[in-house]
């Protein structure tokens, strides 16, 4: 049985006061669950959130990192800087990074390798746009993205990678893929991991679904055999909506 992994991506939200209040509401409530949990605040709140999560089961993630360890990249944050703060996981390849910052799978691949080199975990995001889905290309897109992103990554390293399937048309739009549609693409991704590595690697791979996950739809999504968790945006910003998602099985 794969452990369910629920992650909250705060995006451009979270002053220090907001971050501290939310994390303080989450940690006691999550204590007794067997699921795995993560919050990904903005860089400016990472240190404070890490401090508050010490001794708890809540993991702390960054939303991105530079593909370089150091150098002339004004405004960027490196993996060693994140590691110094105690960050556990880095989210890479989010569709907003691809859409607004021109990130390619080649760049995402470089970032994955750098994060793994420093011993941190990765949540790697992929997913098709609305135009690609309407053209019947959803499966083709995630196969291509997964192959490019995992180039040169060893099977041993896969233990540190979670995949988040996030159809771009479902992110922040209120439109969720049906559990069946999502599961179908999760199967395609799992099959791709099997072809690239092995059945054991594919069976062990945690594949989250992301795209307008809410307390109302989480149970049906999590009931699907190939959906192993969720990457949650909007609904992760309030304990009132994030906790029922995290604790969907209680």
Q: Which residues are catalytic?
A: 94, 166
Q: If binding is defined by CB under 6 A, does position 162 make contact with ligand PEP?
A: no
Q: If binding is defined by CB under 6 A, does position 166 make contact with ligand PEP?
A: yes
Determine the Cα–Cα distance for residues 71 and 83; give it in Å rounded to an integer.
Answer: 17
SS3 labels along the chain: CCCCEEEEECCCCCCHHHHHHHHHHHHHHHCCCCCEEEEECCHHHHHHHHHHHCCCCEEEEECCCCCCCCCCCCCCCCHHHHHHCCCCEEEECCHHHHHHHCCCHHHHHHHHHHHHHCCCEEEEEECCCHHHHHCCCHHHHHHHHHHHHCCCCCCHHHHHEEEEECCHHHCCCCCCCCHHHHHHHHHHHHHHHHHHCCHHHHHHCCEEEECCCCCCCHHHHHCCCCCCEEEECHHHCCHHHHHHHHCCCC
Output 26 or 213, the one with its CB closest to ligand PEP: 213
Q: If binding is defined by CB under 6 A, does position 41 make contact with ligand PEP?
A: no
> Which range binds ligand PEP by CB under 6 A, 28-36, 134-142, 155-163, 231-239?
231-239
Q: If binding is defined by CB under 6 A, does position 210 make contact with ligand PEP?
A: yes
Q: Which of 59, 188, 213, 227 binds ligand PEP (CB under 6 A)?
A: 213
How many chain residues bind ligand PEP (CB under 6 A)?
Answer: 13
Output 27 or 212, the one with its CB closest to ligand PEP: 212
Q: Which of 135, 172, 178, 223 binds ligand PEP (CB under 6 A)?
A: 172
* CA distance to 69, 130, 235, per residue, from 231 (Å): 27, 19, 10
> Which range binds ligand PEP by CB under 6 A, 71-79, 144-152, 179-187, 228-236?
228-236
> Which range binds ligand PEP by CB under 6 A, 24-32, 132-140, 147-155, 206-214?
206-214
What is the nearest approach in angstroms of ligand PEP to the Cβ of residue 187?
A: 20
Q: Which of 5, 9, 27, 103 binds ligand PEP (CB under 6 A)?
A: 9
Output 70 or 178, the one with its CB closest to ligand PEP: 178
Chain residues binding ligand PEP by CB under 6 A are 9, 166, 171-172, 210-213, 231-235
């Amino acid at each position: 049985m794969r452990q369910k992994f629920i992650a909250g991506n705060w995006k451009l939200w979270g002053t220090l006061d907001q971050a501290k209040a939310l994390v303080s509401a989450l940690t006691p409530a999550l204590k007794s669950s067997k699921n795995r949990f993560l919050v990904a605040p903005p860089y400016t709140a990472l240190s404070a959130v890490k401090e508050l999560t010490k001794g708890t089961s809540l993991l702390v993630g960054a939303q991105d990192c530079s593909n370089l360890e150091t150098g002339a990249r004004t405004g960027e944050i490196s993996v060693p800087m994140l590691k110094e703060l105690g960050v556990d996981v880095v989210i890479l390849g989010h569709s907003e990074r691809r859409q607004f910052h021109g990130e390619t799978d080649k760049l995402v691949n470089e970032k994955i390798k750098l994060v793994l080199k420093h011993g941190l975990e990765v949540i790697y995001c992929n997913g098709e746009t609305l135009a690609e889905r309407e053209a019947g290309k959803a499966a083709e897109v995630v196969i291509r993205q997964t192959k490019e992103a995992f180039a040169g990554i060893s099977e041993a390293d896969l233990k540190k990678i979670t995949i988040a399937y996030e159809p771009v048309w479902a992110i922040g739009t209120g439109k969720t893929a049906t559990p069946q549609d999502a599961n179908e693409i999760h199967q395609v991704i799992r099959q791709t991991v099997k072809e690239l590595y092995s059945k054991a690697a594919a069976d062990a791979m945690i594949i989250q679904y992301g795209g307008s996950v809410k307390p109302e739809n989480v149970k049906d999504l999590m009931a699907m055999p190939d959906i192993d968790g969720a990457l949650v945006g909007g609904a992760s910003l309030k304990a009132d909506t994030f906790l029922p998602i995290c604790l969907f099985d209680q």
